[in-house]
Amino acid sequence: MKTIAAFFDIDGTLYREGLITEMFKKLVRYDIIEPKGWHEKVKPKFIKWDNRVGAYDDYLLEMAEIYINAIQGVDSAIIQFIAKQVVEQKGGRVYTFTRDRILWHKEQNHKVITISGSPIELVKEMSARYDMDDCRGSIYICNNQKYTGEVIPMWDSKSKRKAMNELVKQYDIDLENSYAYGDTAGDFSMLEAVGNPFCINPTRELIGLIMNNEALKQKIKIIVERKDMIYYLDSSYFEDKK
């Protein structure tokens, strides 16, 4: 029999915010990047999103661009060490719904995989913490153990679908009976590919894409988690808001 898999995004889907923000804070604390860089570039982007002035998708992309420049020339062992610390200290700040779904999939002997736009160093640590079977993340290229400023992204929909296709071949996955969990437009291809898609606290852009895809609109399950409550929304709710 073919393998049933569950594909999880991390930032905004499992983790309640963006892990890369915590990376920046650690980089400043260890004097790897100057505090000025944090206050002038990173913090304003975070505050803009935190105050719900900017779009979450734009915030993540901008943060990724700043991160590329911030770690250029930094030794990869340092980033791996910081990523481990971030996940040890902050990795428990996850959504209850998503955490419980990971446990449920493990109980069903499903293959649990994360495909995330976060740096692969963070993705590996989160995957290990939640006992996932495999993972894919954005790869920041090194030369002689130093980051070059080049990146192979995993935050866009096209890259995530490519990763899924590779995993399908590797594990002989039955997509029609598999699951996917995401929250932004970058996760659209994952949700579209499986028979059981879930969007967790979705962005406006992702909802717009779903509502323009009749097949996905019929099968999507929309979850909103706030405080200690989990709400299940039908796609028709958003149809009425067009």
Q: What is the pLDDT of residue 38?
A: 63
Superfamily holding 5-239: HAD superfamily/HAD-like (3.40.50.1000)
Q: What is the pLDDT of residue 69?
A: 82
**Average pLDDT per block of 10 residues along the chain, 242 residues long:** 95 89 84 71 71 70 78 90 94 96 97 95 96 96 92 92 96 97 94 97 91 92 93 80 56
Q: Count Cα atoms within 13 angstroms, Cβ side, for 172.
A: 3
Angle between helices 76-90 and 19-29 (to 10 degrees): 120
Q: What is the pLDDT of residue 238?
A: 77
Instruction: Tell me how far CA of residue 217 lies from CA of 13, 94, 173, 210, 220, in angstroms.
Output: 19, 26, 23, 6, 6
Q: Which residues contact 18 (CB under 8 A, 6 or more apart)?
A: 11, 12, 59, 60, 63, 118
Q: What is the DSSP code (8-state) at residue 40?
A: I
Q: What is the pLDDT of residue 76?
A: 93
Integer Rg of the chain from CA = 18
Q: What is the pLDDT of residue 209?
A: 93
